[in-house]
Structure formats: structure tokens, C-alpha cells
Amino acid sequence: MRLAGGVFDLRNQYGPRFGTNFDPYTQNISTGALLGLSHHCEDGGSHARTRGCFEKLHQAFCMAELKDADGNVRHDEYGNVMFCHNIFSVISRGGCGIHHYKYGYNLAIKDVRKGLSKENPWENFQRIWPDETEVTKQGLMQDDGEADAPEKKMTLAQTMKEKRAQDFHDRYARSKSKSVGVKVESSQTSSDPATSPQPRVVFTNTIHPRHLSEGAASNSQTPRLTSGLSRKEEKKRRATLETQKRIQDDKAKEEAATKEKEGKQKMRSEKTSKGNPSWIEKAVKRKK
């Protein structure tokens, strides 16, 4: 297999870690360490690293095998070979800060960058690179966009909001069951809104004791909710009754004021008829 213009498959180069742990400021794809610098080399134009920087071999992760004090290759807890994976600029003189070119490390990457070799230097690494888990193996079979997409999880605020909404539905169903005589089965609260069932209302033939004795003292008091009406309709009905009562009170006040005014006029006319002379009669007497 030959390289086409220096572009190669980064998954075959670094295994599944590049798709899951890569970030523009990644220092090491194995440990997930990040850098604080925004540029990488003179070819990058002082911008953050991208996939193109690795496809053009401006940057690379060191593929040197880690060894212990006895010179044996180190393995992780799963039995996989451990690599250095520190990022370095391919055009630099020394290469990786720990594993230099002069010691024979990463020479295949350097030769491909300079155009001295067109063979794929990752075939040997691909042969010895085992998959970490079955989940990683399934992720490699998917599209790059689907494999790199982060897992969507609910935050603590979203979980508490869902729990409050579920509690509100349960309380509302229980309060409504007290007036119309229904039995509510409360559901368990779930963090996933798609899988959390809503409270199921089971209608029965039972009647609330408050509505049994209509001829007794409870007859004078109207229930909080009228049977067969929703909360919104009941609220609208109460507002209509209050408006009608207010209109009746205003009419009664107007009638009382009119009667009072008529009474005063009647009393004034009676005083005049009994011999209380008007101002015209008084003026006529003065002239005489």
C-alpha cells in the first residue's frame, strides 16, 4: 500500500485512540494530556492543530514502544503494547523530545515527510495493534462522524427538572382523583424522559364521600371541582359567577342611591306644601 500525497488513515496509524481522544490541544492521545499553546510548527500558520496537520505530517504522535528498566516492552492491564504517543513536529531536528531521530525512532514518519519513502509505515503497527474493547471494535465499523460523536447524557439540572415535572403530574392526578372519584397509579421517576411513563388514571365506580350527602350541610358548599369539568373550565366558570355577582351588586347600589335621592326630593316638596314659602314668595312680600 502506497501513500497518496502524504494522506493516510489516522485510525490505522494510531488505532481507535485518535478518534476518541483527539483534540486540537492534545499532547498525548494515550493519557489525554492537553497543551496550552495555539501553534505547532512553521507550516501551521500559528493556528490550532487540526486533522489536516496530521494528514500532511506536520505533526505526529510518537510510535516508540515504552520499555521498563530491564529493557522489556511495557504492557497495560489488558496486555496491549504501550507506546509513547507524545506529539512532536515532524520537521524538527530531533523529533520526539524523549525518543530522538538519532536513536532510530520514528524514522519512517520522517522519511515519508521528506518524500524518501512512499511505502506505508503503519502496516507493522497495524498488525501488532489490538483492539482495546469490543465497543472500540464496533466504533471502528461505524462512520467517522458517528464514532467521534460524544455520548449524550442528562445533566444534574435536567434530571432534577424532569423529576419535578413528574412529581407535579402525580400530585395533579391525585388532587383530581379526590373530586371525581378515580384511582391513580403513580409511576416511578426515571432520568430519561423518553422512557419515563406518565401516571395512569384508572376510572372506577366509586364516588367520593363528600358528594354522597348532597342534602346535608355539604349541600350549601360547592365542591372545589365540578364533576366532568377540567381545572381550566372550573376556573372560567368561577370567574363568570364572580363577574355576574359584581354586576348585581353595582345595580343594587345604583337602585339604593336613586331611592335615597327620590326620598330627599319628596321631603323637600312636603316642606314647601306645609307653608314653607319659597324665595319667590318672600321677594313678593318684601315689595309689598
**Whether residue 76 is found in the same domain as residue 114:** yes
Identify whether 4 is part of a domain. no
Contact, 186 vs 180, CB < 8 A? Answer: no
Residue 59 pLDDT more than 70? Answer: yes
Instruction: Point out the least confidently predicted range of 20-34, 94-108, 226-240.
Output: 226-240
Identify whether 72 is part of a domain. yes
* pLDDT of the residue at 231: 81
Identify whether 1 is part of a domain. no
Identify whether 242 is part of a domain. yes
Beta-bridge partners for 28: 86
What is the percent of the chain where pLDDT is above 70? 56
Between 125 and 75, residue with greater pLDDT: 75
**Whether residue 86 is found in the same domain as residue 17:** yes
Residue 247 pLDDT more than 80? Answer: yes
CA distances from 37 to 34, 46, 95 (A): 9, 10, 18
**Whether residue 20 is found in the same domain as residue 143:** yes
**Whether residue 70 is found in the same domain as residue 88:** yes
- The residues, any chain, with a CB within 8 Å of residue 207's CB and separated by 6 or more, are 181
What's the whole-number mean pLDDT along residues 151-166?
Answer: 80
**Whether residue 60 is found in the same domain as residue 97:** yes
HEC letters along 196-255: CCCCEEEECCCCCHHHCCCCCHHHCCCCCCCCCCCHHHHHHHHHHHHHHHHHHHHHHHHH
Place of cell 521498563: 68
pLDDT tens column, 185-241: 555 544 455 555 555 544 444 555 555 555 444 444 444 544 567 788 888 888 999
Between 281 and 170, residue with greater pLDDT: 170
Place of cell 388532587: 175
Closest Cα partner for 23 from 8, 6, 40, 7?
Answer: 40
* pLDDT of the residue at 171: 85
Residue 65 pLDDT more than 70? Answer: yes
Place of cell 439540572: 157
Q: What whole-number distance in Å separates Cα of residue 32 and Cα of residue 27?
A: 7
**Whether residue 118 is found in the same domain as residue 218:** no
Between 266 and 142, residue with greater pLDDT: 266
Q: Which of 53-62, 128-137, 193-202 has the highest average model confidence (pLDDT)?
A: 53-62
Identify whether 3 is part of a domain. no
The helix/strand count (H/E) of the chain reads as: 10, 4
Q: Which helix (H) or strand (E) holds 60?
A: strand 59-61
Between 52 and 228, residue with greater pLDDT: 52
Domain that holds residue 275: 229-288
Question: Which amino acid, 266?
Answer: K
Q: How confident is the model at residue 112 (pLDDT cuts 50, 70, 90)?
A: confident
Q: How confident is the model at residue 60 (pLDDT cuts 50, 70, 90)?
A: confident
Instruction: Point out the least confidently predicted range of 87-91, 171-175, 182-186.
Output: 182-186
* pLDDT of the residue at 219: 46
Contact, 16 vs 148, CB < 8 A? Answer: no
Task: State the total domains in the chain.
Answer: 3
Identify whether 254 is part of a domain. yes
Instruction: Point out the least confidently predicted range of 82-96, 111-125, 165-179, 201-215.
Output: 201-215
pLDDT tens column, 34-48: 876 656 555 555 677
**Whether residue 116 is found in the same domain as residue 21:** yes
Identify whether 70 is part of a domain. yes
Which of 174, 195, 225 lies at the terminal end of a domain, its last residue?
A: 225
Residue 30 pLDDT more than 60? Answer: yes
